[in-house]
Structure 1
Amino acid sequence: MLFILHARKLSQEQKDKEAEQALVAKLQFKLEQNQQKTKPSSIKINSAGKIEIITSDQIVFCKAAGDYVEMPLKNHQQRLFTGSLKELESTLPNTFLRVHRSYLVNVEFIQNLTTTSLKQAKTSAAGFLQLHDAMEVPVSRRIMPTV
């Protein structure tokens, strides 16, 4: 009987610890969002022989395109980053979420999430994120639960 009580107590403590960790993660994400709004990080982009500095709050999403990364901006312009999406992901703040093998999305621009049923799916995407100015980004099946 004592063993059962001890096991229940340990189980409850473990659940409480997981709930606290989830709360800490949410609070940390909110702090990063607020920091991003007050002091956005910047990225240096080499294009046509000149270096351009873009703040991360201007980037709507990033799309891998071979050896480059396409970055549509909120002012309807587009920039190319020379390097991989993984390199760019390491320099961007945590307000950017990997939603697909080829896409990073700035969570500040997400408007809604549309899921697709298996009958509707013409692609491998489990759904689409509707972003700023009707831009759509696919969400992979593997990452959909976290999104």
Structure 2
Amino acid sequence: MTIQVFVHTIVSLIAIVTGFVVLAGLFKAERLEGWTAWFLILSVATSLTGVVLPAAQFLPSHAVAIIALVVLLFTVMAKYTFNLRGGWRRIYVIGAVISLYLNVFVLIAQAFQKVPALKALAPTGSEPPFAIVQGIVLIGFIIKGYLAVRRFAPRDMLAA
């Protein structure tokens, strides 16, 4: 493992952990400013380092990183440029959940490539075990995203 891959992996794992903390805050209508800033910074760093890692060809992970960067652009704008006003609150929540999901999606894909027991179940990544796990995770994130959008409301709206 090269130093670049090692750093990328550590940054990715920390982004995922901070992302779950932020998601828990969304469920409680808490902004968690520090955690959110670190999650967004580390998610951007994960995607940027994922794009620039040496590869012989354009890989699906590069496409995911580019998509993640576009999502993160809107998420950061919603949070820091538009201060969660109006529809930007929903864009922020959806973007944060999608960003976390994409990090977890790549984590699972990497696990199926690198962990021998998982690789044996899905050697090419197109077998049912891989698809089933990714499908379950996707459904879980759709549910979490729906709940986060519903629960992350301004404090004055929660009192009404």
Higher percent of residues as strand:
1
TM-score strictly above 0.5: no
The two structures have a TM-score, normalised by structure 1, of 0.25
Q: Which protein has the larger Cα radius of gyration, Structure 1 or Structure 2?
A: 1
Higher percent of residues as helix:
2
The two structures have a TM-score, normalised by structure 2, of 0.24
